[in-house]
Amino acid sequence: MTDQSSADWPGEIGTIYLTEDEIQQRVTQLGAEISRDYAGQDLILIGVLTGVFIFMADLLRAMTIPVTVDFLALSRYGPSEQTHGVVRLTKDLDETITGRHVLFVEDIIDTGFTTRFIMHNLQLREPASCRVCTLLNRPRRRIIDIELDYIGFDMPDYFVVGYGLDYDERYRNLPYLVRVDPDQLKQE
């Protein structure tokens, strides 16, 4: 499969940060690591809608052990480009996680505020274990110290879209990640 360029889209939106092949290769590695680490255990993957669904689906397909999946949904109040606002749960889990091994799967971790909120919420439900897997880790923006167990890629303080990540609910369907200038996208 050949990688597309961002120029395939109406108007060039930015430069490719991670190709489809680079992403898929790393997701396959993560799936193998997680499968090895959780072999023989009752594992549930939990993600926050909507951005994580593409990464989580690919990660799930890369795993070779039985696993269940569930989702949360959140609403944020306050500054939108920074996660300093108040976080509120708008969709809870359908599955019970008490006594089960939980792997919280995230598309990108920046400040750590949302991840801390979710991990606290999950740990109150008394899982056997609760760990974190993220596709993208942006440590330069970290305000809250978060232990990350599985990291796809460490990245600089870039704004990226594609592979589930969006700008104004657009560009999630790009199969790669594109570095963009949010101010440029506002003008489109």
Give me the sheet containing 159-161, strands edge to edge. Answer: 15-18, 177-180, 159-161
Q: What is the largest CA-CA distance in the chain?
A: 51
What pLDDT, on the 0 to 100 scale, is given for residue 33? Answer: 98
Q: Which residues, 6 or more positions from 182, have their beta carbon under 8 angstroms from its beta carbon?
A: 81, 159, 167
What pLDDT, on the 0 to 100 scale, is given for residue 128? Answer: 98
What pLDDT, on the 0 to 100 scale, is given for residue 120? Answer: 96
Please confirm, yes or no, whether 58 is among the known catalytic residues: no
What pLDDT, on the 0 to 100 scale, is given for residue 185? Answer: 77
What pLDDT, on the 0 to 100 scale, is given for residue 109? Answer: 96
Q: How far apart are CA 31 and CA 158, in angstroms?
A: 25
pLDDT averages per 10-residue partition of the chain, 188 residues:
48 87 98 98 96 97 98 76 69 97 97 94 98 97 95 96 94 95 78
Domain boundaries, the chain: 15-180
Query: Alpha helices, DSSP H only, in 12-103?
Result: 20-37, 53-62
Q: 15-180 sits in which CATH class?
A: alpha beta
Contact 46, 103 (CB under 8 A): yes
Place of tokens 């944020």: 76
Active-site residue, selected from the candidate residues 21, 58, 110, 166: 110
What pLDDT, on the 0 to 100 scale, is given for residue 160? Answer: 96
